[in-house]
Amino acid sequence: MSDTTRDLPTPPDVIRCAYAELVVTDLQASKWFYTGLLGLVVTHETEDALYLRAFEEYLHHSLVVRQGPVAAAAKFAYRVRTPQDLDLAEAHYRALGVEVRRVPAGTTRGIGEAVQVVDPLGFPVEFFHEAEHVERFHQRYDLHGAGAISRLDHFNVVTPDVPAARAYYEGLGFKVSEDIEDDEGTVYAAWMYRKPTVHDVALTGGDGPRMHHIAFATHERSQILHLCDHLGAVRRSDQIERGPGRHGVSNAFYLYLLDPDGHRIEIYTHDYYTGDPDNPVITWDVHDNQRRDWWGNPVVPSWYANASTVLDLDGTPRPVTERTQDRESDVTIGADGFSYTRKDDEAVGFKVGHQV
Ligand SMILES: [Fe+2]
């Protein structure tokens, strides 16, 4: 794939990940999860779809939840800086040789003209600039629950060949903030951004294309803890898949939930600023126990194994290609039985005090 990115037309100026569309099989069950538990604001509701946003957001939606026959991810949408960037997107993807559709405003409610593609990794991706504005509820504290969610933060997608996926996203102007490798050079995952945070999209090595999760941000850790308490109180603790915890990668405080169809939703806060041009890349050793959880807690096997089907532009499930390289789950769950919390020659806090 790196060969095909060499002479491509200028890519569109992507601002950030902007919204996702998920297909669910029981819209009422999903409505409780996304509005009753997570507290997302309903911008618009039809018989078969919910258009949702978080409290800081003023575009029409950051999540569409749509009733359908098979649970799947139908769209990953990025906002571009100007209307002219749609022309750049169209030319860029036509040169990549993938399916491209230019769709008129209103094809998705609240969203202007857009370019939809099946990207070279096999994901349904949309680029748009115009979008309907709605009221920003950031100071509607009368509506904020104790678990208030601020905004969409990122997508995490599963793909068999992470270096190829990284090259593709670099061709789209994304930069790497962190990645996971081993001494043999196998790359297990990479985090890439346009907005100045750790990521807009994370690339997880595995059978793909599949959606690993989408993530929403809160301002405070306490809001994430409240969501856990809320789930316990309504006897839905089985919808907590992993966490709460502190990530090594990204430094974020996290919680992974499963919606009623098993779509994984991360609630995320406290990552860091990456906007300077010389922002240093952090590379983690796949054997480092603290990369996924800073406190060393093990990762549940389902988190590595399960992911959502993705659809093509006509709503048909995309075929999945198997990853042939080593998987992170093999390292973590113990195929090689080797991992570490600290290396023997590594300086640690209790030896060096505050001299870091
Ligand atoms: Fe994430």
Mean pLDDT of the chain: 94
Other beta carbons within 10 Å of 345: 5
Q: Which residues, 6 or more positions from 57, have their beta carbon under 8 angstroms from its beta carbon?
A: 136, 151, 152
Q: Kindly give the distance from the C-alpha atom of residue 17 to the centroid of ligand 1, in angstroms, as a whole number.
A: 13
Q: Kindly give the distance from the C-alpha atom of residue 202 to the centroid of ligand 1, in angstroms, as a whole number.
A: 7
User: Which tens digit of pLDDT belongs to each residue from 128-144?
Assistant: 999 999 999 999 999 99
Query: What 3-state class would DSSP assign to 170?
Result: helix
What is the arithmetic mean of pLDDT over 260-288? 97
Q: Kindly give the distance from the C-alpha atom of residue 344 to the centroid of ligand 1, in angstroms, as a whole number.
A: 30
Q: Kindly give the distance from the C-alpha atom of residue 3 to the centroid of ligand 1, in angstroms, as a whole number.
A: 29
Q: Kindly give the distance from the C-alpha atom of residue 87 to the centroid of ligand 1, in angstroms, as a whole number.
A: 30
Q: Kindly give the distance from the C-alpha atom of residue 292 to the centroid of ligand 1, in angstroms, as a whole number.
A: 10
| pLDDT surpassing 90 at residue 33 | yes
Angstrom distance (rounded) from CA 173 to CA 95:
16
Write down the pLDDT at residue 342.
Answer: 83
What is the arithmetic mean of pLDDT over 139-166? 98
Q: Kindly give the distance from the C-alpha atom of residue 15 to the centroid of ligand 1, in angstroms, as a whole number.
A: 18
Angstrom distance (rounded) from CA 52 to CA 60:
8
pTM: 0.95
Q: Kindly give the distance from the C-alpha atom of residue 150 to the centroid of ligand 1, in angstroms, as a whole number.
A: 15
Write down the pLDDT at residue 349.
Answer: 56
Q: Kindly give the distance from the C-alpha atom of residue 37 to the centroid of ligand 1, in angstroms, as a whole number.
A: 19
**DSSP string for 204-238:** EESSBSEEEEEEEE-S-HHHHHHHHHHHHHTT-GG
* Tokens 């969501």, located at residue: 227
Q: Kindly give the distance from the C-alpha atom of residue 217 to the centroid of ligand 1, in angstroms, as a whole number.
A: 10
Q: Kindly give the distance from the C-alpha atom of residue 200 to the centroid of ligand 1, in angstroms, as a whole number.
A: 9
Angstrom distance (rounded) from CA 149 to CA 244:
15
Write down the pLDDT at residue 354.
Answer: 55
Q: Kindly give the distance from the C-alpha atom of residue 82 to the centroid of ligand 1, in angstroms, as a whole number.
A: 28
User: Which tens digit of pLDDT belongs to each residue from 60-81?
Assistant: 999 999 999 999 999 999 999 9
Q: Which residues, 6 or more positions from 175, have their beta carbon under 8 angstroms from its beta carbon?
A: 192, 193, 274, 279
What is the arithmetic mean of pLDDT over 2-27? 88
What is the arithmetic mean of pLDDT over 195-208? 98
Write down the pLDDT at residue 1.
Answer: 46
Percent of the chain scoring above 70 in pLDDT: 93
Q: Which of 36, 34, 58, 31 is nearest to 137 (CA)?
A: 58
Q: Kindly give the distance from the C-alpha atom of residue 266 to the centroid of ligand 1, in angstroms, as a whole number.
A: 6
| pLDDT surpassing 60 at residue 37 | yes
User: Which tens digit of pLDDT belongs to each residue from 281-306?
Assistant: 999 999 999 999 999 998 999 999 99
Q: Kindly give the distance from the C-alpha atom of residue 204 to the centroid of ligand 1, in angstroms, as a whole number.
A: 10
| pLDDT surpassing 60 at residue 350 | no
Write down the pLDDT at residue 356.
Answer: 47
Give residue 2's pLDDT band: very low, low, confident or very high (50, 70, 90): very low
Cβ atoms 154, 201 nearer than 8 A: yes
Give residue 331's pLDDT band: very low, low, confident or very high (50, 70, 90): confident
What is the arithmetic mean of pLDDT over 270-285? 97
What is the arithmetic mean of pLDDT over 94-118? 98
Q: Which residues, 6 or more positions from 61, have their beta carbon under 8 angstroms from its beta carbon?
A: 19, 43, 44, 51, 52, 53, 109, 110
What is the arithmetic mean of pLDDT over 22-26? 98
Percent of the chain scoring above 90 in pLDDT: 88
Q: Kindly give the distance from the C-alpha atom of residue 285 to the centroid of ligand 1, in angstroms, as a whole number.
A: 18
Name the strands in the sheet holding 100-103, side by side, starting at the edge strand that comes first in the sequence: 41-45, 49-53, 63-67, 14-24, 72-80, 124-128, 114-118, 100-103
Q: Kindly give the distance from the C-alpha atom of residue 197 to the centroid of ligand 1, in angstroms, as a whole number.
A: 12
Q: Kindly give the distance from the C-alpha atom of residue 305 to the centroid of ligand 1, in angstroms, as a whole number.
A: 15
Q: Kindly give the distance from the C-alpha atom of residue 355 to the centroid of ligand 1, in angstroms, as a whole number.
A: 32
Q: Kindly give the distance from the C-alpha atom of residue 62 to the centroid of ligand 1, in angstroms, as a whole number.
A: 16
Q: Kindly give the distance from the C-alpha atom of residue 94 to the centroid of ligand 1, in angstroms, as a whole number.
A: 30
Tell me the HSE value of 143 on the side-chain side, using a 13 A CA sphere: 18
Write down the pLDDT at residue 329.
Answer: 84
Comparison of pLDDT for 1 and 213, the residue scoring more: 213
